[in-house]
Amino acid sequence: MILEKKNMAGRILLLLLCMNVVSFIVNAAPQTCPADLGGKCSEDSEWEGEFFPGIPKIKYEGPSSKNPLVYKWYNAEEEILGKKMKDWLRFSVAFWHTFRGTGADPFGAPTKFWPWEDGTNSIAMAKRRMRANFEFINKLGVDRWCFHDRDIAPDGKTLEETNANLDEVVALAKELQGDKIRLLWGTAQLFMHPRYMHGGATSSEMAVYAYAAAQVKKAMEVTHYLGGENYVFWGGREGYQSLLNTDMERELDHLARFLEAAVAYKKKIGFNGTLLIEPKPQEPTKHQYDWDAATTANFLRKYGLLGGIQLNIECNHATLSGHSCHHDLETARINGLLGNIDANTGDPQIGWDTDQFLTDIGEATMVMLSVIRNGGLAPGGFNFDAKLRRESTDVEDLFIAHISGMDTLARGLRNAAKLIEDGSLAELVRKRYSSFDSEIGAQIEAGKADFEMLEKKAMEWGEPKVASAKQELAEMIFQSAL
């Protein structure tokens, strides 16, 4: 009997589904409030009260605190090497991970069901998420955020409608930013939609190139409107899956034309932010054109784009390209291109972009050595392009992850400052190259030593004495600062 009833209900559901009635019922009344929220969400879809009611404003308590919701190393106003910690670090929350990350992976469904989400991608939902974002930023006590156009506002049926959706959400973001919170950077998402399957600026389809240009134009306009300090290009699909069907030279030429047009448009609208390219070697494409800092620097040099564009180095991208984060930071820095850091780390055993919060103090210290040598990152900063693990599902985990990432970099800053103030590491390096401080060394470095002269000297001096590199001593000095 029970079985019969179930069968009957099943048949009715199937029938309704066939008639598209079920989806009609769902679509007819787009949800604007979570079903189980009771009084928290009113008719006009505005959220009442706090999004993070149990979380206080995060304060500095110092290293001896056992409270997970305080800073132990990051003390925003404290001065290190003549600059406040907050000005060295310029932290930013990445909207896409913190507010659009669902925990889904290629093998599993979403695991995060934040209380303010209603399962839709409506404008009302986008606005509510934006409010959650700013409450999060305020409670965390950071001053900056970053976004992709499509993660803050839903696609419409046409580009005009999509732009109007974006404008509506951006207007709210502008209001919520007030005069305290800044947009570190905005960017256009040119990788999710199927139209971008061959790339945006490097697509084989001219109409897609045009669509990508229109999307970037709009994203630059809203970034400018929000007072953005930078604008980022991450070419997720600007690369190839096979060289057999790809005209690499033509695609790279197109990418350069695209960036030239962006530089021109930036000037036209009076946007003074820095344009940044974010290198990544692969994922989702087999080969991405902006493989690493050196490849991207060469691309900029070849196409005469140096001066107009800098680099946003992401640690997990650097390690995917076979370098350390420190290597890519130094490569960017010595080329005068270090503009911003996407702060995260990968996993030594997993071969993809795991986007984890950095917790390795040694790595953070090396990162901060580069940042200090660069004189800081401004107008760039540290954007937490990092996400919770799929299995971390509490709202407080969002706070704990950011606090831990911020404390790690703050600790790196303190350690790097210690190393610089102590001076023994710099002295070790200086000594190592001291033979170039001689008269002939100075001539070599000035480009005034020809081969004939050097041959004469080599014969006169005989077999050179070669000193130890002192690597273990360097490692010992470095460790002593951690």
Interface with ligand XUL includes 328 (CB under 6 A)?
A: no
Chain centroid offset of residue 259 CA = 19
The helix (H) or strand (E) run that includes residue 383 is strand 382-384
Interface with Co ion includes 314 (CB under 5 A)?
A: yes
Q: Is 148 a catalytic residue?
A: yes
DSSP secondary structure string for all residues of 42-54: -TT-PBPS-SSTT
User: Which position among 148, 323, 326, 402 bears the catalytic label?
Assistant: 148
DSSP secondary structure string for all residues of 342-374: E--B--SS--S---BPP--HHHHHHHHHHHHHT
Among residues 236, 385, 406, 481, which is the contact residue for Co ion, using CB under 5 A? 385
Closest CB 385 distance from Co ion, rounded Å: 4
Contacts with ligand XUL in 137-166 (CB under 6 A)? 148
Number of residues that bind ligand XUL (CB under 6 A): 10
- 162/288 with CB nearer ligand XUL: 288
Among residues 118, 143, 229, 314, which is the contact residue for ligand XUL, using CB under 6 A? 314
For residues 187 and 149, what is the distance between their CA atoms, to the nearest angstrom? Answer: 6
Closest CB 185 distance from Co ion, rounded Å: 10
For residues 72 and 374, what is the distance between their CA atoms, to the nearest angstrom? Answer: 26
For residues 440 and 75, what is the distance between their CA atoms, to the nearest angstrom? Answer: 48
Residue 415 CB contacts under 8 Å (≥ 6 apart), including other chains:
361, 364, 365, 368, 481, 482
Which of Co ion, ligand XUL, none interacts with 117 (beta carbon under 5 to 8 A by kind)? Answer: none
For 81, 120, 237, 351, 426, the CA distances from 188, given in Å and listed in that order, are 36, 21, 12, 26, 41
Q: Which two tokens stand for residue 48?
A: 């009442």
* DSSP, res 322: T
DSSP secondary structure string for all residues of 240-253: ES-STT--HHHHHH
Among residues 149, 330, 385, 407, which is the contact residue for ligand XUL, using CB under 6 A? 385
* Half-sphere exposure of residue 135: CA atoms within 13 angstroms, side-chain side: 20
Closest CB 148 distance from ligand XUL, rounded Å: 6
Output the residue with the shortest Cβ distance to ligand XUL: 234
Q: Which of 284, 406, 392, 291 is nearest to 344 (CA)?
A: 406
SS (H, E, C) 296-311: HHHHHHHCCCECCEEE
- 116/233 with CB nearer ligand XUL: 233
Interface with ligand XUL includes 234 (CB under 6 A)?
A: yes
For residues 97 and 389, what is the distance between their CA atoms, to the nearest angstrom? Answer: 11
Closest CB 185 distance from ligand XUL, rounded Å: 9
Interface with ligand XUL includes 223 (CB under 6 A)?
A: no
Interface with ligand XUL includes 330 (CB under 6 A)?
A: no
Among residues 32, 165, 187, 319, which is the contact residue for ligand XUL, using CB under 6 A? 187
- 232/481 with CB nearer ligand XUL: 232
- 184/403 with CB nearer Co ion: 184
Among residues 118, 330, 342, 407, which is the contact residue for ligand XUL, using CB under 6 A? 342
Which of ligand XUL, Co ion, none interacts with 229 (beta carbon under 5 to 8 A by kind)? Answer: none
- 219/406 with CB nearer ligand XUL: 219
Contacts with ligand XUL in 265-284 (CB under 6 A)? 278, 280
Contacts with ligand XUL in 398-457 (CB under 6 A)? none
Q: With beta carbons less than 8 A apart as the criterion, state whether 165 and 154 touch.
A: yes
Closest CB 317 distance from ligand XUL, rounded Å: 6
* DSSP alpha helix (H) spans, 103-143: 123-140
The residues that are catalytic are 148
Q: Which residues bind Co ion (CB under 5 A)?
A: 314, 342, 385
Q: Which residues bind ligand XUL (CB under 6 A)?
A: 148, 187, 232, 234, 278, 280, 314, 342, 353, 385
